[in-house]
Every structure is written in C-alpha cells, then in structure tokens.
Amino acid sequence: MNWLLFALVGSAAQLIDGSLGMGFGLTSSTLLVTLGASAVVASTAVHIAEIGTTLASGASHWHAENIDKKILLRLAIPGGIGAFLGATFLTFIDLSSSKIFISTLLLFLGFLLLYRNVFKTEPQTNLLEIKNPRFLTYLGFTGGFVDASGGGGWGPIVTPTLMTTTTTEPRKVIGTVSAAEFVVALSASAGFLAQIGRIDINWSTVGGLALGGVIAAPVAARLVGRLPAKYLGIIVAVGIIVLNAIQIIRA
C-alpha cells in the first residue's frame, strides 16, 4: 500500500461524508482496517486528517450562522475529553485484540447507520431541552470516546440523537456538531501522539488520507442534496457491516 491508495480512501470517505453529513471516520477506518492497517494507525490517521477537514467545515458553518455557541461548548469540551481518553485506551490494547475491538465497534456503528437511514424520522418536539448540560455532557463524552477508540462515530451518534430528541433546528444541529468535531479530532490526535512510542505510525497513511479528504471536500460540498442520501447511507452501512463482519470472522 502507498500514499496514493490511502488518498483514494480519503477521497471516497469524504464524498460519502459530504453526502450524508457523517461517515468520514466510520468509512475510512473500515477501509483502512480492511486494507491491513492496524486499529491504532487507522484511528490515528483518520483523526489527524480530520483536523483539517473539520476546521474547514466548522468555519463554514460559523460563517453561515449555523452554530449555537452554548451547545458547542457543552458538546466540544466533554467530547474532547472523551476522545483523548478513547485514544489512550486504544493505544494500550495489544494489536490482535485492538483489531477485533475496532471491527466490532465499527460493525455496531454500521448497524446504527443502517437503522438511522432505514427508519429515518422527522425531528420531534417538546422531548428535551437542548441546553440541558448533563445530557450534552454525557452525549459529547460518549461520542468522543467512541469516535477515538473506534476510529469514527461522532457524527452517527451525536447528530441523529440531537435531531430526534430535541427541538433545535436541523441546520444548527449539523453545524454545531460539525464544529465541535474539530475539538474531538484535535484531542484524539493529541491522545495518540502522546503515546507515540507505542504506535508504529505509517505517515504515508496519514498524509494520503488527509490529502484525499482535502481534495474531495469541495466536490463533496457541491454534492450535498444532489445524491440520494438515504439510499447511499444504506449502501454504505451494508458495506461497513459486511467488511467488518469478515474481519471479525477472520480474527
């Protein structure tokens, strides 16, 4: 494998993320593990690459006034803490166990993505006060921990949860979650790099994935709303489930 192959992985993942509003980490981690990358290298590469993509996304949403600052802080801070701990947790699992762990978690997230797209519902009202600090703290921490330890999951966990249990405008949910993901990606990367002595990082993996994601980002932005997101989400979810099920069976 070389950087060009990983660039193609990054491009494909970013195109999916741009169409679904989630899935860069979930898709790219699954592809990297399937191609033979270790669990730690896959998650490290994904989160370092996401620093650039989430910064650009957050800035765009900020400019479009799609961000609720109070919700942003209450999601991002616990999300960052959870991501740092998740990254640290993953680096202390031995290589054979980590591959089974990440494939199992990605398999679960694949089923979650499939469920969200097959049984997609409209946002309900009067279910929960969005600014409830305990709810946001728990959701942010859980999303951050799962995202770092599993190589992805922030979007599939946090965005649909807020949309289906709160009264907040969907555009502000998406914008706020996207902006908060920058802190999650930064914290997860810090967690992995803090254990650099325990990780055999292939920087061609990191660079290729980041390059592919950045190149595809403008194209993905133009595709939003033009591709059938529901059916694309189902196809991607089934692919993630099959690939990770094969990894678990092989292990």
**Per-position DSSP letters for 100-116, written without gaps between them:** HHHHHHHHHHHHHHHHH
87 within 8 A of 45, measured Cβ to Cβ: no
User: CB atoms < 10 A from the CB of 125, how many?
Assistant: 7
Residue 23 in tokens: 């899935």
Q: What is the DSSP string of 182-249?
A: HHHHHHHHHHHHHTGGG----HHHHHHHHHHHHHHHHHHHHHTTTS-HHHHHHHHHHHHHHHHHHHHH
- Could you give the CA distance from residue 25 to residue 5 in angstroms, rounded to a whole number? 16
pTM greater than 0.85 (yes/no): no
Tens of pLDDT, residue by residue over 87-103, are: 988 888 755 566 677 77
Residue 201 in tokens: 């990082």
- Going by pLDDT thresholds of 50, 70 and 90, the confidence category of residue 128 is very low
- Could you give the CA distance from residue 205 to residue 88 in angstroms, rounded to a whole number? 20
Least confident range of 30-34, 96-100, 134-138, 235-239 = 96-100
73 within 8 A of 176, measured Cβ to Cβ: no
Tens of pLDDT, residue by residue over 34-75, are: 777 777 778 888 888 888 777 877 787 787 788 888 889 999
Q: What is the mean pLDDT of the chain?
A: 79
